[in-house]
Structure 1
Amino acid sequence: MKRINDAFAFARDARVLQGTLAVSAMERLHDLLAEVSGEVSWQLEGFRGERGEPMLHLTVGGCIPLACQRCLEAIPFELGVDSLLEVVPANADLSQDELEDDSRDFLPVEKELDVAELVEDEILLSLPVAPRHERCGLPGAAGAGERINPFAALAELKGKPN
């Protein structure tokens, strides 16, 4: 898999990389999948931001078979990752205001960047917390219309002689 030797130069020189990545190579995803198969396509573009800061634009597409949290069967999930990341030195001191700014996503790197790891990270961030089929419903939703009163049997006994 591709490694970028200098992420800052990659962004400064407006380079572009693209390729595919096998789902089987993304081990942190395996526990979330119904089956480990297929591949995803990705593209990484470097550029300079409005303030001259090094930026990366990552897009990832493809379909992965997530495991339904209710029945454990496959749910085809279409990836639509589209991330803008500001490259910062790994030891950069970011202010609290910068960290809380929701319009910016930081990518701390030493110099070298593992593209496969970045792609997997961004896929993990894009996944639903608890994927489920529509037909599987929410936990506790089954029979929600028929609410059973646990004291109904006691009410029937009330007033009956011993």
Structure 2
Amino acid sequence: MLNRLPVDVNPFRLVEQKKRLTGAMPFKQLPRLAEVALPETGDFAVDLEFTRSLSGLPIIVGSVRGRVVMECQRCMKPVEFPVDSDIQVALTTFQSDERPEQEGFEAWLVEDDRLFIQDFIEDEILLALPLVARHEQCEPVRELIEALPSEIAATQVSQTDDKPEGKKNPFAVLKDWKKTE
């Protein structure tokens, strides 16, 4: 059984202490993920090591493991996505810091010397998910209607030709509007 993770930490202090956080992040504590995932989604195993890069940058190296169950956008049935995300981010206190990118790390902006673990983990999980949830092979809920472009154009033309003669154009009163001024 994994430990519970703290809510927020001072990441720079943890880097100086060379700490490692290992624990579980319950699905019910991830509200943004709950918007796109089904309740069958399980908890996530988290392993974060606070250390320094070879050049001395404060970094977080670790992983997030678990599974997310989402609704397939074709057949509307559950589809499971494994989350196996490796984390390598450099901590910075200002947005214009270019050193993390130059060294091959993603930059993570830390404000007020606080890092909210829940937000950090939730961002990593959301980035690991596909843009559209779907099975590799499944049938859509409703049958697709396929038509060639020429058939669509012919249908539109025939619909305009079928206009009843007795129906008045509601914009007919506006045709002389500009002439009266």
Shift of 1:136: 3.4
Pick from 19, 26, 31 the counterpart of residue 30 of structure 2. Answer: 26
Matches within 5 A, 1:49-128: 49-89=53-93, 92-94=94-96, 103-109=104-110, 110-128=112-130
Percent identity over the alignment? 24
Shift of 1:24: 1.4
Shift of 1:18: 0.8
1:72 to 1:98, Cα distance in 2 relative to 1, 3 A: farther
Pair member with larger Rg: 2
- SS of the residue corresponding to residue 103 of structure 1 reads coil
Shift of 1:88: 0.8
Deviates more, 1:114-123 or 1:4-13: 4-13
Between the two proteins, the alignment pairs up a number of residues equal to: 147
1:117 to 1:147, Cα distance in 2 relative to 1, 3 A: same
- SS of the residue corresponding to residue 136 of structure 1 reads coil
Q: Which has the higher contact order (CA 8 A, sep 6+)?
A: 1
Give 2:173's aligned residue: none
Structure 1: gaps (5+ residues): 155-162
Q: Show CA shifts across 1:110-158 (max 9, x none).
A: 21211111100111111111120122379xxx687x858518x89xxxx
Q: What is the TM-score of this pair, normalised by structure 1?
A: 0.76
Q: What is the TM-score of this pair, normalised by structure 2?
A: 0.69
Structure 2: gaps (5+ residues): 156-181
Shift of 1:19: 0.6
Shift of 1:108: 1.0
- SS of the residue corresponding to residue 9 of structure 1 reads helix
Measure the CA separation in 1 of the matches of 2:55 and 2:74. 47
